[in-house]
Amino acid sequence: MEIGCCGCFGFSFAKKHKKDLRPRVEGGNHVLQGLLNEEVEEDDDEEEEDNNSYCDIMTETEREDHEEFRDPRKSSQEILEYRTENGMICREFPVKETHKVIRSEDEDGNKMVNEYVRECKIGSGSYGKVVLYRSLVDGKHYAIKAFHKSHLIKLRVAPSETAMTDVLREVLIMKMLDHPNIVNLVEVIDDPNTDRFYMVLEYVKGQWVFEGAGPPGGLGETVARSYLRDIVSGLMYLHSHNIVHGDIKPDNLLVSATGTVKIGDFSVSQVFEDENDELRRSPGTPVFTAPECCLGQNYHGKTADIWAVGVTLYCMIFGQYPFLGDTLQDTYDKIVNNTLSLPEDMNPLLKNLIEGLLCKDPMQRMTLEAVSLHPWVMGDDGPIPQYLCWCKRNKSSREESNGNKTDAMSNTN
């Protein structure tokens, strides 16, 4: 089965290709439908206009909470623009930017956008759609997110923000990132003379981490360990750059054909100037929400991401959620109040790890560094390797160069 990376970016598959890859739970999946993102089906050629803008259905309190999450201190966009202007990015080579859109057809009548030949739509959502294209230059497949700028500008998601703000922030974040466990942004196509806007993304041909999961055995410890190591490696990279993902869950984790997990969907991610990652309310997926987020109080984004990693690991092992109620509020109540239940006869090391990740007290919750050194996670492979990204290599080189200059001056004196 081949699945494109649209699942990683907040888009749902078209209904004719629909397959439920979420974990099975007792009583069926009907309970999950109100807790997870609804699927949107749209015309194959034109993006569907979403008449229900987010803020139109939010209460004033929810609007304030949402705005506070999205605009902590200096906005993510301001921080990202500063980092980009000052070369504080992880890419040795920048994302390609194209400012001309040429829409045409090939000799077989297939639609084209610049060098890319359209093959099929693989996902859709309220902002736009994701289509599988093949490049005539390198012959590779790419997943292209297509938007109408006029639609993004009209769609208000917060009192002072539109959907265009969301998309631009996602683009800016992805322009910074370069990691083997992060879905790669290849090119941005934005013609100022047209209404079209495209994000050309790495096409990950594989499956979601949930594929094959389900009671009683889930994915098994060996596969779950391999997936978890990739997830933690990617998330450690993000956190080291003061980026909070905000929506870690299996649907946003895609497994390549070689078994590598890649993190996607940065639509609700936030970037911080320093280690102060305090937020108020997360717009992530309810069943992966940390207890401190359910209370409407200030919380730290990185520790909330770690809780979501714990829920994801639980799902991979058991094929179901650790805390799930009949309603949204019931789910939140269980996350906050219910004791974590684990089988008595399970692997004690794995049990210790899950308990550490799903510790309700964020101050006592296991850190990603501790996870990377945990005996169950290391297994026969040892600690998770530390990824030395381009910007950190540059920083080390500059510091070493400055140190050599200082030593030289000292020796001269």
The pTM assigned to this predicted structure is 0.74
- Residue among 386, 358, 385, 383 at smallest CA distance from 373: 383
The DSSP 8-state label assigned to residue 32 in this structure reads G
pLDDT of 142 reads 94
Evaluate if residue 75 carries a pLDDT over 80.
Answer: no
> Comparing 257 with 56, which gets the higher pLDDT?
257
Catalytic residue among 65, 166, 178, 247: 247
Q: Which two tokens stand for residue 150?
A: 């006029």
43 classed as catalytic? no
Evaluate if residue 394 carries a pLDDT over 80.
Answer: no
Element (H, E) at 221: helix 221-240
pLDDT of 69 reads 43
Tens-place pLDDT, residues 227-280: 999 999 999 999 988 899 988 998 889 888 888 999 988 888 888 866 666 777
In this structure, which amino acid lies at residue 337? N
Tens-place pLDDT, residues 8-45: 333 333 333 333 333 333 333 333 333 333 333 344 44
- Residue among 31, 245, 2, 234 at smallest CA distance from 122: 2
Q: Which of 206-215, 270-279, 364-373 has the lowest mean pLDDT?
A: 206-215
Evaluate if residue 5 carries a pLDDT over 60.
Answer: no
pLDDT of 264 reads 85
Please state, in angstroms and rounded to a whole number, the distance separating the CA atoms of residues 413 and 411. 5
Evaluate if residue 51 carries a pLDDT over 90.
Answer: no
> Comparing 335 with 216, which gets the higher pLDDT?
335
The DSSP 8-state label assigned to residue 270 in this structure reads E
Evaluate if residue 67 carries a pLDDT over 80.
Answer: no
Tens-place pLDDT, residues 123-154: 765 577 889 999 999 999 999 989 899 888 98
Binding site members for ATP? 145
* Structural domains for the chain: 5-28+40-80+94-202 (3.30.200.20), 206-378 (1.10.510.10)
